[in-house]
Every structure is written in structure tokens, then in C-alpha cells.
Structure 1
Amino acid sequence: MDRPDPVRGDDAPDRLDLIAQAWHRERPDLDLQPQQVIGRLHRVARHLTEELVTVYERHGLTEGEFDVLATLRRAGAPYERSPGDLALHTLVTSGGMTKRIDRLEQAGLVTRRVSDSDARARVVALTARGREVIDAAFADHMANERRLVDVLTPAQAHGLEDALRTWLAALEEPPTTA
């Protein structure tokens, strides 16, 4: 697929092409391609987040609450984890996790109890209502993600997935658990 060239001035430049044109005029000595990639990725991520959050809100959830419920659901029966495990699997601080758990508990979507194996530890578990909410929200979430990815051809989607996997591997620590 031909891309608009900010230097040649092809038709239908996007905002990042216009930025590149200005920078090319002012600093023709610099390679602007990284800005084109990262700028577009940043803008796409912002738009995608807005689209995802809309679905969570339909189920009465914030993005963080969806993440906690999804983490508990993925844990399998009995759908529970320690607050520390939840923080680790959602990349949230323990203080932030406590606030999320408090809100979810007040909504009747999770419970907290003393761990069976360690009386000093707590366990967070999905309630039956929490499981219903996350199952419905996750089904809608997956349909929404399908809609968003279907803008790309299957080959483009697979190529992007491969490129992003490589990039993430270079930037992140390998996961310790699923």
C-alpha cells in the first residue's frame, strides 16, 4: 500500500504527515521515520483505549475494575487470588489495588476473606454476580476488539501482532506466570 510521503506531498496526509513536513523543512538532517511510527502508535493506542473503556462503562466498570475481574476469572475455579497476585498480574500498586477491590466489593462483585493456607493473608474471590458481569463484559469486549482489528486485513493484523510482540520483548521483562 502506498503511503503519503510528507516530503513529496502525496494526497491525504494525516496529522503526523503534516508534523513530519514541518520538521523536514526545519531539520532535513534528521530521520523522522521513528516519530511517524511511535506517533501513530501513540495516537492509535489513545483511540483504542477510548473504544475499550466505552464497553467497560456499559457494564458499570472502569478499565481497572474490568482488569481485576478478568484476572480473577482467568484464574479458574474457585476464581480467587491474593491482592498481591492481583497487583502483579495487573501491574497496579498495592494501594491502587486496595481501592479497586474496595469498589468491587461494595458493588458485590468480589469478596475478601482470610486465606485457608495462611491466617495472615487475604484472598479476593469473584462472587456469582461478579462472574456474570465479567463474562458478559468480556464477551462484549472481545466483539469490540474484533470490530477494531477488522479495520486491518488478516495479513496486516498478523504482521502487526508479530511486530508488536518483537517490540514488547525488547522493552519488557518476560512474564513469570500466565
Structure 2
Amino acid sequence: MKRLTTHLTQGLDTVFAAHGLNAASFDVLATLRRSGAPYALTPSQLMDWTMVTSGTMTNRLDRLEAKGLVDRKKSAQDARSVVVQLTVKGLDLINACVSDHVVNQNRMTEALNAKEQEELDRLLAKWLAAFEPPDD
């Protein structure tokens, strides 16, 4: 499992690096993209989705903001809070990266046929359920 994880991580990191990202920055940008237009979430929502601490999220957001990929804006609903929003540059970048990411994921799983992929997915979900409670 460790050896397979190493190969998969290297495969993912290669695609992210080609876009000037790492796994952490991809995670934040992809989470904002999945949120739908206007591609904005509060830092707390991002922390919940990405399962990182406040300090880690602040560091990630600082770096993404410095690259012009996200903006922090005062919330229209609550002047005390902030929302993090993808910039046009950030949206263009994550769209291109996600397209390459999907191609890469297909490449990395092509050793298994469709039936084997379905079976692996079922088995991994069963195994994961032993460690995580089901969603309600």
C-alpha cells in the first residue's frame, strides 16, 4: 500500500506542479470551484471541507492570494466575516488543472478494467467505512 501510495502521489504531484500548484493549493482551489459560482466560501467552510487547522488554512490562503488566485473579501451577510473567492486567474488555472487531473487519474487507473475499478471502489468504500462513521 505504501509503495502504491508513493506512485499515486508522484503522479498527482506532477500534474499539480505543471500548473504551479501543490496538493494543498489544488485542494483549496478545487474546493472553491466545487462550491459553484461565485466560487466563494468562508475560511471556516474551507477548513471543514479540507480538514485542516485554522493556521494551515491561513498559510494556504496567504500563498494563493499572493499568486493572485484568490481574494479575501468582507462578507455581504456579515461585516465581521470574510469570504475567500477564486479570481478569474484562479478559476482559469483550476479549470485547466482539473482537466489534466482527470486525464491523469484515468491514466493511473487504466491497468484495471471497468469491472475491476468498480470492485476496487466497492472494497475501498467498505474498508473506509470501518474507520469513518456513515454520513447522515
TM range (shorter): over 0.9
TM-score w.r.t. the length of structure 2 is: 0.96
2:72 match: secondary structure: strand
The 3-state SS of whatever aligns with 2:52 is coil
Aligned pair 1:129/2:129, yes or no? no
Partner of residue 152 from structure 1, selected from 112, 117, 123? 112
2:71 match:
111
How far apart are the structure 1 equivalents of 2:44 and 2:84?
A: 10
Deviation at 1:174, TM superposition (A): 3.7
**Aligned equivalent of 1:26:** none
- Unmatched runs of 5 consecutive residues or more in structure 1: 1-40
What is the alpha-carbon distance in structure 1 between the residues aligned to residue 85 and residue 116 of structure 2?
Answer: 39
Q: Secondary structure at the match of 1:78?
A: coil
Aligned length: 136
Shift of 1:167: 1.1
Higher RCO (CA 8 Å, separation ≥ 6 residues): 2
Out of 144, 152, 163, the residue aligned to residue 123 of structure 2 is 163
CA distance in 2, matches of 1:78, 1:60: 23
Aligned to 2:26: 66
Q: Which residue of 2 aligns with 1:80?
A: 40
Calculate percent identity across the aligned residue pairs.
48
Deviation of 1:121 (Å) = 0.8
The residue type equivalent to 2:59 in the other structure is: K
Q: Any residues of structure 2 matched to 1:31-70 within 5 Å, and which? A: 41-70=1-30
TM-score normalised over the length of structure 1: 0.74
Q: What is the aligned-residue RMSD (CA, Å)?
A: 1.1
Distance 1:143 1:59 in 2: 14
Runs of 4+ in 1 over 3 A off after TM superposition: 173-176
